Amino acid sequence: MSGTPARSFASRLFYLFLALLWGTGIHFLTVAPPRVGPSSFLWTYLRNGGHAFLFSVLALLLGLGFPGGGKRRSILWILASAFGFFEEWSQLSVPGRSASLFDAATDAAGAAFGAEIAAWVLAGNPLRESGIRIRRLILLALPCLLFPLADTFFG
């Protein structure tokens, strides 16, 4: 073993099942008719920023489910981001919904953040490189905060 904690096939399958359920939930949120909520700046920002949270969790669950998931951040990012782009595209066929490049960018930023968290969780000794990982997480969190802000102002 290379310092990575062993995970059983059953636990990996469980996390993949959770990822499937989470992705299904994202899909149902995507194809549901839009709900009208408060039109305040804060509410709009939180609604736009929710994309980052949803796709961070998706990438984290995928990372916990895939063998060697923590070391395959780019694959996790590609899978979760592709799903986000697909979901944005599918909104074009839902009455009252529209696709947004800002939302797709926020989905991808959230996926990168979640993939990094998966790598950190699965590291054999997470404290060994914690300074580097914390700086990387902060850098990955910035787009998760800024893309929804841009969507709130310009979207």
Instruction: Provide the number of structural domains found in the chain.
Output: 1
In a domain, 34, yes or no: no
Residue (of 53, 35, 83) closest to 148 by Cα position: 53
In a domain, 19, yes or no: no
Q: Which domain holds residue 58?
A: 40-154
- Specify the pLDDT at position 129: 64
In a domain, 15, yes or no: no
Query: ∠124-64-87 over CA atoms, to 5°?
Result: 145
19 Cβ contact partners less than 8 Å away, ≥ 6 residues apart? 58, 61, 62, 65
In a domain, 2, yes or no: no
Q: What is the dihedral of CA 107, 30, 98, 108, to 10 degrees?
A: 10
- Specify the pLDDT at position 122: 82
pLDDT tens for each residue of 43-101:
889 888 999 999 999 999 999 998 776 667 888 899 999 999 999 999 888 888 888 89
In whole angstroms, give the CA distance from residue 21 to residue 36: 25
Mean pLDDT throughout 139-146?
92
In a domain, 128, yes or no: yes
In a domain, 26, yes or no: no
pLDDT tens for each residue of 14-57:
999 999 999 999 999 888 887 776 778 888 898 889 999 999 99
pTM over 0.95: no
In a domain, 20, yes or no: no
In whole angstroms, give the CA distance from residue 92 to residue 141: 28
For residue 86, which phi and psi values (nearest 5 degrees)? -60, -45
In a domain, 97, yes or no: yes
- Specify the pLDDT at position 19: 96
- 17: which 2 tokens? 């099942």
- Specify the pLDDT at position 53: 95
Query: Quick check: 3 pLDDT over 50?
Result: no
